[in-house]
Structure 1
Amino acid sequence: MTIDKDTPRGVRAPGWIPVLLGVIYGLATTGTSALAVSLPQVSGEFDVSASGAAWAISVYTVMLAVATPLHGRLADSYGLRVPLIVGMVTMSIGAVAAALAPSFPLLLVARIVQGFGGASIAVLTTALLSALWEGPQRGAALGRVTGVGATFSALGPLIGGALENLGGWRLAVTMPAVGLLALPYLARLAPSGGSGNRIDRTGALLVATAASGLVLVLQSPSAGVVTGIVGAVLLVSGVPAVVAWVRARPQGFLPRSVVSNPVVLRSAFAASAVPASWFAMLVGVPSVTASWGWTPLQTGLLMLPAAVVGLVAPTFCRKVLAKLGARLAISVSCSLAMLALLVAAAGAAMDSAPVLALGVALTTGSFALGQPSMMSAVSEAVDLTDRGVAIGIATLVSFTGASIGASLVGGLGGVASLSTVFLAMTALPVLGLAVLLLTGRRRAALA
């Protein structure tokens, strides 16, 4: 990302700016975590199945995955200011439209719009921090953003449950629109200059095709054969097309220098297991508690310990990241995600609320460590001019993991117990951990 003369000067210690960005990041995710506890109510109002209602989460996460590298490219081309403003406004419009949706299909459309805008928050707040700080200060700022964001996201179910009691799930889903209050300040803080390069729209479309196909395939066990066939066609045609396009256009939507960078690839792939676990909890835990007859507010209270973890995690995670380095910190995060899924599987199998709450809390700790560690690794592995798009691509992989987590729970939850689904999902952090450690050792041996 190119930084021009409009970049703010005199910014030294991170201070409260990362806290504000963390609040914005948290609000972007709170609209989803608040909605998650009300999925049974959404299911009843629109007369769709529980797995069908999970599409309200899945379409949001797949749009996050698809749109993040696009926003990164827009930031490289035009600076951070305009994409950030457009993204926040779009996110708010989508949130309000979701609250007013008269039918389930229109709710899904609104969630897609909200996800497109929310994707700008995920990538551009990180890019802004990378533009303002370097080295340990960047790590501290990233940890603070993620910690505050994780706290808000973990509070989302409680907020959503409380708002559902006051005015139903429609009131809860409007939460991201509150972020517009901070827009004037962020617009002044964000740099406006960019390279002026055109956006590779074909590459963006091909990536969207492949990612959408993956989500449809994962949802097919509960969504039906037609969904699976459509997803398979999109996936089988989209992946080779993306590979061919990257080879033909090495400076396109997915720059070859970034997607072939081993540090970017292994860090993003390994860390993607963390949001997969977190979004699996967001969709799965309310389904478990609904089977117990719990209200959304009770489910939100169950997840309150996770908010406490998110509140205290930044200090701990900053020390872990500084002491271990990004690669080992991601390894610890994957290990925590694996443990969290095992604990959640046990809680669901035993109908134990305390054990289930512990699983969610462990996932929050994993997320609070994994995201800044991944961003730190990616930021240090590429040139400054490629940083925006590299962060976007890493976030693409990360939120693809999130969509996989939501889709697996939504897709398999209708044909298997959620304890079994949580248990099966431990394969994701195990695989990520293996890739991270084995490739790191291989490169060290070659060196």
Structure 2
Amino acid sequence: MSPAEGALTAEERVGQRNTRLLLVVVVTAILISVLNQTFVNVVVPDIRSDYGATQGQTGWVITGYLLVFAVGIPLYGRIADLYSLSRTFALGLLLLAAGSLACALAPSLPLLVAGRILQAAGASAIPALGFAAVAKALPEGSRGMALGLLSSSVGAGAAIGPVLGGVVTGIAGWHALFFLTVLLAALLIPGALYALPGVADGASGKPAGFLAAVRHFDVPGGLSLALSAGLALFGVTQGQVVGFSSPVSWGSFVAAGGLAAFFGWRIRGASDPFVTPHLFRNRAFLAASVTGFLMMFANVGSYVLVPLLLSEVNGLSATGIGLVLAPGAVVVAVLSPVAGRLSDRFGPRALVLIGLVIFGISMFSISAFAAGASSVAVAVGILGQSLGFALVNSPTANAAAASLSRDESGVGLGIYQMLFFLGGGFGPAVAATFLAVRQGAGAGALNPLFAASSASFSDAFLLLTISSVVALISATGLKRRIGKGDKGA
């Protein structure tokens, strides 16, 4: 063993020896997690038909999963700082497999929803612990490519999921999709136990063993943050269904705000808080988190608006819409690792700013010139949007990881991933609701350069443009460069 190797912790040496296997396990797990979310959207009509349920009842197959997923992400992030990351990740895969088996065998809709909740309890470990595994196993300045691969797997899963769901369901029925998830998740468990880093007992003041980790886990603080996220997402989903003025929707937002306030009070007064208040004074981390939220808000929001635009205004079939969206998905999958690697070399801030400018111009061009014009113009705008998102996604995650100390990388990245996920939940709901409001108003377009025929869609894409501009302002707070020992801006 060389002197340099001897200076490393056991966790760091394991991480170095198994980096490739670690990436295979985490990238595949994230792919499975995203597939598990996206293919279900396709088979909801089949599920509703098989169980004879209403649309509202069947909606809980998706809503129940999303709520538990949002709650679980920050909790798993904190666990990553206190206990063996590999064992916790393996537990998440085990719960995902068990929930999938329950879904595949469910004789009724309530039991299917229960299985989906169990799935989410396991799947929420994957993004939180996957990004934390990279942050803990790889040194600062060497994570970009790995984080890019993780981001790429998200894009690939989003593109493949609906196609896979339709094909498998057509051949073997929707139950086969859940059996497939059982098999894939179970196969990854041995690799997770072997390749992912654990926790060096007693190092940096970390608790030694499971019971010690439990004693250090701030349950009131963790639950208040997690439930705040879940209630905020529930308020958005219910607002989209019954209106944001409904008591259920605004009541959820009020409760979420109350829990967030309690969380802020708790971390300032607890002797061993869920996260130290210092994290929320970390300008670089806050900039990355806000940028990630707003970017997902705009990106996922556009993927709700574009199919509606192409279907309602341009009259395209589902196949035609898929052909318009497919090139963008390929761009994100291919360029995300490249962008991550470039962020190690040149720093994340420049790449993120360039990406947000490209993204914003693309959204504005759709608002001004493509909303109601040729589908080719929409396709060009979506291609530009995807290029911008690829330049933003993994460099922002790299910037977030680089802004955190090693002892808080798990909970910090858990909070980052939570906000990233919430952005993807808020974007579609707010964009679709705003579109409906503008369609009902029947007014002219707000964009002064509007030159197409659908004013309401123009306004909705203008809203996403504004989101990208605010993200651009936030991104000025990111670190300019990252690297070993680099703690400056």
TM-score (norm: length of structure 1):
0.81
Structure 1 partner of 2:278: 257
8 Å Cα contact 1:408/1:421 also seen in 2: no
Go from structure 1 to structure 2 and tell me whether the alpha carbon gap of 1:259 and 1:103 turns closer, same or farther (over 3 Å shift): farther
1:83 is displaced (CA, Å) by 1.1
Q: Which moved more, 1:415-424 or 1:371-380?
A: 415-424
Q: Which of 266, 280, 286 is the matching residue for 2:287?
A: 266
Q: Secondary structure at the match of 1:11?
A: helix
Instruction: Pick the aligned partner of 1:238 from 259, 279, 299.
Output: 259
Residues 439 and 379 of structure 1: CA distance in aligned 2, closer, same or farther (over 3 Å):
closer
Q: Which residue of 2 aligns with 1:379?
A: 401
SS of the residue corresponding to residue 137 of structure 1 reads: coil
1:223 Cα deviation (Å)? 2.2
1:109 and 1:277 map into 2 onto residues whose CA distance is 31
Please say which of residues 187-196 and 73-82 is displaced more in the overlay.
187-196
1:305 aligns with 2:327: yes
Partner of 1:396: 418
Alpha-carbon distance in structure 2 between the residues aligned to 1:92 and 1:406: 29
> Is 119-128 or 407-416 further displaced after alignment?
407-416
User: Which AA in structure 2 matches 1:375?
Assistant: A
Residue 170 to residue 189, structure 1, CA distance change in 2 (3 Å):
same
Q: Is the 8 A contact 1:27 1:153 kept in 2?
A: no
Match of 1:226 in 2: 247
Relative to structure 2, which stretch is displaced further, 104-113 or 317-326? 104-113
Report if the CA contact (8 A) 1:270-1:334 is conserved: no
Question: 2-side partners of 1:306 and 1:405: how far apart?
Answer: 18
Q: Does the CA contact (< 8 Å) of 1:139 and 1:321 recur in 2?
A: yes
- In the alignment, what sits opposite 1:405? 427
Distance 1:101 1:46, change over 3 A: farther
Alpha-carbon displacement from aligned partner over 1:136-161 (angstroms, at most 9, x marks no partner): 43212222222234223322222223
Rounded Cα–Cα distance in structure 1 between residues aligned with 2:419 and 2:329: 25
Give the alignment partner of residue 188 of structure 2, picking from 179, 182, 185: 182
1:117 to 114, 122, 136: 122
Match of 1:69 in 2: 74
- Aligned residue number for residue 392 of structure 2: 370
Partner residue in 1 for 2:210: none
Equivalences for residues 15-164 of structure 1 within 5 A: 15=20, 17-38=22-43, 46-48=53-55, 57=62, 59-99=64-104, 108-164=113-169
What is the Cα-based RMSD across aligned positions, in Å? Answer: 3.8
Q: SS in structure 2 opposite 1:272?
A: helix
Aligned to 1:444: none
Match of 1:330 in 2: 352
**1:426 aligned onto 2:465:** yes
Q: Distance in 2 between matches of 1:280 and 1:434?
A: 20
Q: Deviations over 1:239-281 (max 9, x none)?
A: 3222212222274223212222111111111121233334335
Distance 1:108 1:284 in 2: 28
Secondary structure at 2:143 match in 1: helix
> Matched residues in 1 for 2:379 and 2:433: separation?
23
Could you tell me whether the CA contact under 8 Å between 1:69 and 1:392 is conserved in 2? Answer: yes
SS where residue 16 of structure 2 aligns? coil
Moved more, 10-19 or 382-391: 10-19
1:46–1:103: 8 Å Cα contact kept in structure 2? no
After superposition, what is the alpha-carbon deviation per residue over 1:353-384, rounded to whole angstroms, capped at 9, x for unaligned?
55555565555544544342223222222221
Indicate the SS of the match to 2:273. Answer: coil
Whose radius of gyration is greater, 1 or 2?
2
Q: Which runs of 5+ in 1 are unaligned?
A: 442-446
* Alpha carbons of structure 1 residues 347 and 388: separation in structure 2 relative to 1, 3 Å: farther
Aligned residues: 437
Q: How far apart are residue 317 of structure 1 and its match?
A: 1.0
Q: Deviations over 1:155-206 (max 9, x none)?
A: 2222223224334555446654423312211211123335233211111221
Matching residue's letter, 1:30 = L
Q: Compare 12-21 and 159-168 and name the one that shifted more.
A: 12-21
CA contact (8 A) 2:268 2:276 kept: no
Instruction: Look up the SS of the partner of 1:257 in the other structure.
Output: helix
**Separation of aligned partners in 1, 2:81 and 2:98:** 25
Query: Kindly, what percent of the aligned residue pairs are identical?
Result: 23
Alignment partners' CA distance in 2, 1:411 and 1:170: 33
1:366–1:165 distance in 2 versus 1, CA, 3 Å: farther
In 2, Cα distance between equivalents of 1:306 and 1:281:
12
- Are residues 73 and 318 of structure 1, via their aligned partners in 2, closer, same or farther at CA, if it must alter by over 3 Å? closer
* TM-score, normalised by the number of residues in structure 2: 0.75
